[in-house]
């Protein structure tokens, strides 16, 4: 089978035979124009993989490009800790803190240059956002579309406003169509899934396909080891359908995978689909032909609920059902990100009454709630906007770092690759002033921190940032040394106590039990009940445990290893 056969087959399936051949003819020169790199490792993952999620300017210093500031911080504080840095969109943008991309090829000059990115790539694997669903209404591409320039006339999706769009799944409580005026004076209504500044690409156009594949290959050439496919679930539209997870969308992800297999086979695809778990894991495809990682979107809200209720049972039941499609796939485990805590993944797990309890809890602790539009015109909760630190601590005055770290210990014990948002690593709290300034709920979790102030806080023993950062780094470093925490190592969730989350991980040369007390009270774990006989070592404290039972203090977590 030739190396282009899969690409040809997918293009025929998406576009039909004739259009598929035209598409192939336009793609082949692109593939030949980019340098190919061979696979450097046999597998995609290891237990050493840890991702830091950050904006390029999450840390700032006067007179210095933010990418240089971040590089300095990463070199001094994160080498040997995280292996991958996920840069949220660092391209020229017009809104949504980077996700309305004006130019997909350049780094925002206010942040730095591609050379700065490459310098960071010398010490860390790089992860880029591939914003593949939409483009900015203020960029050159949209100006070319409005002007009717050759190659851009069908870049956007024009829709008759009288069309029945009631079946379309809406992730926001905003109009689906937005009106614009073209250069010839005509008025058009365009598909805008997320906002009027974010114009959905028309992937039925071969002009769009060619330009976005060029972007895909450019990011691989610039050193991306992981590509995050932003909002990928909505990529293909067919009026009369839900316009989410369509077969053409899955085939497009498979096409991206097939192209990368030719040009850069080490590059992984991560799909961002904030939806219930069965829909989410569908992007694993056959286990090799689609995404290598999917976001574990159910984890953040369900883990928060477990801490609010001080009850591990629902969390344990859900975690016990985590299944992977193959050894070439795994979960992207996170609790916090630049976005809020999505609640759609709780559908079918948490009754609406319990979700309302969670919503009230978040509002009580300084957070906000964003909504989406339903087919009947009503609105329902979409995400909780609050830092994960404040969500878990449940008290703006609390400095209880150990309670927050207990939540992270659960995340880091699960099968998958763990990812930590920079504000969680640094113990950041709700930026309510920022949310008030912008009028956007998500700003509460996107503060730009003064790098020098952060350094001083980290160098001040006993400060909240220092206690959080030091303990979190120790957690990460310890995890990286345990073979049982390989993303694909076997696991079993043990449900022996309603307030303890217990998971056993098994590798060829190590068995490890991760036990976390999710409550504010002490709890006893009988070790023989969970299969432990004889002494084990808590690898976090390096203490030998040879008792029949273990008394866990409030929010205590242990990783017990037997090699």
Residue 33 CA to residue 230 CA, distance in Å, equals 25
Q: What angle do CA 20, 26, 31 make, to 5 degrees?
A: 110
Residue 525 parent element (H or E): strand 523-526
Catalytic residue among 49, 57, 207, 230: 230
Provide the 10 A C-beta neighbour count for residue 376: 6
Residue 49 catalytic? Answer: no
HEC letters along 106-167: CCCCCCCCHHHHHHHHCCCEEEEEECCCEEECCCHHHHHHHHCCCCCCCCECECCCCCCCCC
Beta-ladder partners of 134: 200
Are 331 and 283 in contact, with CB atoms under 8 Å apart? Answer: no
Give, in order, the Cα–Cα distances in Å from 134 to each of 97, 308, 380.
Answer: 14, 37, 24
Residue 386 CA to residue 363 CA, distance in Å, equals 9
Closest of 429, 406, 209 to residue 307, by C-alpha: 406
- Give the sign of the dihedral formed by CA 277, CA 385, CA 389, CA 54: positive
**Three-class secondary structure of residue 204 per DSSP:** coil
Are 406 and 394 in contact, with CB atoms under 8 Å apart? Answer: no
Q: Could you tell me the end-to-end alpha-carbon distance of the chain, in angstroms, rounded to an integer?
A: 44
DSSP count for the chain of H helices, then E strands: 17, 25
Provide the 10 A C-beta neighbour count for residue 204: 16
- Give the sign of the dihedral formed by CA 487, CA 489, CA 493, CA 494: negative
400's tokens: 């209880």
Residue 540 CA to residue 384 CA, distance in Å, equals 32
* CA atoms in the 13 A half-sphere facing the CB of 170: 24
Q: What angle do CA 237, 241, 246 make, to 5 degrees?
A: 55
Residue 83 CA to residue 474 CA, distance in Å, equals 15
Give, in order, the Cα–Cα distances in Å from 24 to each of 12, 209, 258.
Answer: 9, 10, 13
The residue with tokens 């590089």 is: 71
- Would you put residue 366 in left (φ > 0), alpha (ψ -120 to 50) or beta? left
HEC letters along 285-320: CCCCCCCCEEECCCHHHHHHHHHHHCCCHHHHHHHH
- Would you put residue 148 in left (φ > 0), alpha (ψ -120 to 50) or beta? left
- Catalytic residue numbers read 230
């Amino acid at each position: 089978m030739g190396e282009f056969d899969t690409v040809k087959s997918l293009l025929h399936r998406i576009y039909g035979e004739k259009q598929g051949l035209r598409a192939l003819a336009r793609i082949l020169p692109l593939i030949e124009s980019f340098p190919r790199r061979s696979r450097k490792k046999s597998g995609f993952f290891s237990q050493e993989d840890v991702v830091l999620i950050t904006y390029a300017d999450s840390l700032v210093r006067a007179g210095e490009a933010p990418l240089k500031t971040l590089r300095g911080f990463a070199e001094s504080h994160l080498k040997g800790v995280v292996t991958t840095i996920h840069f949220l969109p660092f391209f020229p943008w017009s809104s949504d803190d980077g996700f309305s991309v004006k130019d997909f090829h350049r780094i925002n000059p206010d942040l730095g240059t591609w050379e700065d990115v490459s310098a960071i790539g010398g010490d860390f694997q790089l992860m880029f956002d591939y914003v593949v669903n939409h483009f900015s209404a203020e960029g050159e591409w949209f100006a070319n579309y409005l002007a009717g320039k050759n190659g851009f006339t069908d870049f956007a999706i024009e829709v008759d406003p009288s069309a029945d769009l009631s079946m379309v799944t809406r992730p926001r409580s905003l109009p689906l169509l937005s009106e614009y005026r073209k250069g010839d004076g005509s008025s058009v209504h365009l598909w805008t899934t997320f906002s009027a500044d974010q114009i959905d690409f028309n992937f039925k156009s071969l002009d769009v396909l060619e330009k976005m594949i060029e972007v895909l290959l450019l990011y691989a050439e610039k050193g991306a080891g992981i590509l995050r496919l932003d909002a990928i679930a909505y990529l293909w539209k067919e009026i009369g359908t839900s316009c989410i997870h369509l077969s053409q969308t899955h085939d497009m992800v498979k096409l991206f995978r097939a192209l990368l297999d030719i040009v850069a086979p080490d590059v992984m695809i991560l799909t961002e689909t904030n939806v219930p778990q069965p829909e989410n894991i569908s992007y694993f495809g056959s286990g090799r032909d689609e995404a290598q990682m999917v976001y574990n979107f159910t984890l953040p809200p369900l883990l928060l609920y477990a801490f609010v209720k001080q009850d591990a049972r629902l969390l344990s039941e859900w975690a016990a059902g985590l299944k992977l499609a193959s050894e070439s796939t795994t979960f992207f485990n996170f609790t916090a990100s630049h976005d809020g805590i999505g609640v759609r993944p709780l559908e079918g797990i948490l009754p609406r009454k319990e979700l309302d309890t969670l919503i009230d809890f978040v509002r009580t602790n300084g957070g906000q709630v964003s909504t989406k539009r339903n087919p009947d015109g009503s609105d329902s909760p979409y995400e909780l906007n609050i830092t994960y630190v404040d969500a878990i601590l449940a008290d703006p005055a609390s400095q209880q770092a150990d309670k927050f770290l207990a939540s992270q210990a659960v995340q880091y014990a699960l099968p998958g690759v763990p990812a930590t948002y920079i504000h969680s690593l640094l113990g950041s709290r709700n930026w309510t002033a920022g949310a008030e300034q912008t009028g956007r709920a998500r700003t509460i979790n996107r503060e730009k921190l003064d790098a020098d102030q952060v350094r001083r806080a980290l160098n001040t023993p006993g400060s909240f940032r220092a206690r959080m950062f030091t303990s979190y780094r120790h957690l990460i470093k310890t995890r990286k040394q345990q073979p049982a925490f390989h993303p694909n190592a076997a696991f079993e969730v043990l449900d022996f106590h309603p307030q303890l989350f217990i998971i056993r991980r098994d590798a060829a040369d190590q068995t490890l039990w991760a036990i976390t007390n999710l409550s504010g009270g002490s709890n006893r774990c009988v070790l023989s009940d969970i299969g432990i006989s004889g002494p084990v070592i808590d690898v976090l404290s390096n203490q030998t445990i040879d008792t029949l039972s273990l008394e866990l203090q409030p929010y205590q977590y242990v990783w017990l290893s037997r090699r």
